[in-house]
Structure formats: structure tokens, C-alpha cells
Copies of this chain bind each other. A is one copy, B any other.
Amino acid sequence: MTAAPRTARALARATITREIVAAARARLAAEGPASLSLRAVARDVGMVSSAVYRYVENRDALLTLLIVECYDELGAAVEHADARIADRGDVTARWLAACRAVRGWSVGHPGEFALLYGTPVPGYAAPRDTVDPAIRLVLVLVGIVADAYRDGAVPPLGPTVESGLATLVAGARDVVAARGLIDDAPPELVVRTLMAWTTVLGTVSFELFGHLAGSVDDPEAWFDVVSLRLAADLGIGLGQAVSPG
């Protein structure tokens, strides 16, 4: 990613690094992040464990590579789901499609989901490199809400009741503004979107971590219900009958 590999050695190095990350990804998908062992990855690529350290600084660095890769993959999946129907201009459908893409990727990749949104690895602090890929998917959701807001699809927000709401979500507003999605977004809109995103991820997290067992039988239908209600709360929903599933 830094410079194009020109020499044969650099080329080989890049290839082997990709091999290692791919093997690690396979084990992550199979066993989850906690039991991902560098030695096992080394065996998979036909190396002795110490040789892997030529390519990856340590286990945390390998996890970081995987985190970036997974965030990008998830972000791309959601972007794709939105882009496919964005021209139809139906913000509710776009919102639902984006949310479904989030759940779809997560259910299909529970190990990766756990790495991204589960318990952080004990001594691990996500480096800067991970934040950009991480917000990519959120920006899709924000973009949908922003489009609806610009087009006047969002009903009047009403007065912001809480004091200091703008400063509370100043960081989120800055991010949105920096990406050129909305200049000077109404704090009310930012708050609603942030809450909705929290609920979307919380619902997926509940499902994958087993906290829905016994309460909800059909997680997919439940997720649709939640997503559509969130859309309604955001002001971009139909506000009328939609059958789940």
C-alpha cells in the first residue's frame, strides 16, 4: 500500500504477506478472533512460526490488517447494496437495503464481526489506520439520511429539546461535514442517525452473540422490523404497513 513493489524481492514479500493475511482470514472465519494463533497461520502457509515475524510485526499487527480488510469488505458490501438502488430515489428502500447488507455480511461472517464489534483484544488499541475503513459503512447510512434531508423527505425535525446537543455530537457533525455529506447538519438529525446506527449494530450483536435466544425466533424478520421502525423514527420511513421478511 505504501509504494509499488518493483524489485523481485519486494514483489515476493508482498505476495507472501498477502498469503499470510489470507490464511489468517480463513482461520478468523473458522474460529473467531480469540483463538486465532499466529503459529497456526504459519503452519497453513507452510512456514515455521518464527518466519512469519519477518512479515508481520506481531499478532496484534496481523489483527489490525484483518480489521482493516474486514471493515473495507463490510463497507463495500453496504455501499454496493445502496448504490444498486440509489437511482430509484426511494430512501426507505435504500435504508432497508443498507441495513440488510450490514446484517447479511455479519451473519455470513460471524468471526469477522466479532473482531470488528466484539470485545477488543485485551491490550489492543485500534490504530489510526482502522478508523477510516470503520466509518465507511456508517457514511453510507448517513448519506442516505442526508439525501432524504436534502430532498425534503425528512419532515420538520421540531425544536431540539436538549441543551448542548450540538456540542455533544460535534465530533460526528465534523466527520459528516468533512466528507461533504451535509454542511452544518442539524444536530437533531445527527443524533437520530447515531441512535439508529447504534440500534442496528446492537440488534446484529444481540443476534450473533446469542442474547436474542428465547425472545425472538426469526432474527431476520426481527431485523427487518427494527430497520423499518428506525427508518420511520428517522423520518425517512413510510410510516405505514410494511410486512417483515
* A5 at the B interface (CB under 8 A): no
* A165 at the B interface (CB under 8 A): yes
* Cβ 8 A contact of A171, one of B134, B172, B209, B214: B214
Q: Is the CB of B240 within 8 A of A161?
A: yes
Closest B residue to A239 by beta carbon equals B161
Q: Is the CB of B33 within 8 A of A119?
A: yes
Closest B residue to A163 by beta carbon equals B243
Q: Is the CB of B120 within 8 A of A35?
A: no
Starting from the known contacts A35-B122, A168-B221, A201-B202, 12 additional A-B residue pairs (CB-CB under 8 Å) come to A118-B118, A162-B242, A168-B222, A168-B244, A169-B215, A170-B217, A171-B216, A172-B215, A191-B229, A198-B202, A199-B199, A202-B202
Closest B residue to A118 by beta carbon equals B119
Q: Is the CB of B170 within 8 A of A225?
A: no
Q: Is the CB of B162 within 8 A of A226?
A: no
A191 CB, nearest partner CB in chain B, Å: 7
What per-residue 1/0 map shows which CB atoms of A1-15 lie under 8 Å from chain B?
000000000000000
Closest B residue to A219 by beta carbon equals B168
The CA-CA distance from A209 to B206 in the complex, in Å, is: 15
* A131 at the B interface (CB under 8 A): yes
Q: Which residues of B contact A218 (CB under 8 A)?
A: 168
The CA-CA distance from A224 to B241 in the complex, in Å, is: 31
* A164 at the B interface (CB under 8 A): yes
Q: Is the CB of B119 within 8 A of A214?
A: no
* A205 at the B interface (CB under 8 A): yes
Q: Is the CB of B203 within 8 A of A198?
A: yes
Q: Is the CB of A226 within 8 A of B195?
A: yes
* A129 at the B interface (CB under 8 A): no
The winner among A114, A117, A121 for most chain B CB atoms within 10 A is A117
Closest B residue to A244 by beta carbon equals B162
Q: Is the CB of A217 within 8 A of B34?
A: no
A-B contact pairs, 29 of them (CB 8 A): A32-B119, A34-B119, A35-B122, A114-B120, A117-B211, A126-B210, A131-B214, A162-B242, A162-B243, A163-B243, A163-B244, A164-B243, A165-B244, A168-B222, A168-B244, A169-B216, A169-B222, A170-B217, A172-B215, A172-B216, A191-B225, A191-B229, A194-B215, A195-B226, A195-B229, A198-B206, A198-B226, A199-B199, A199-B202
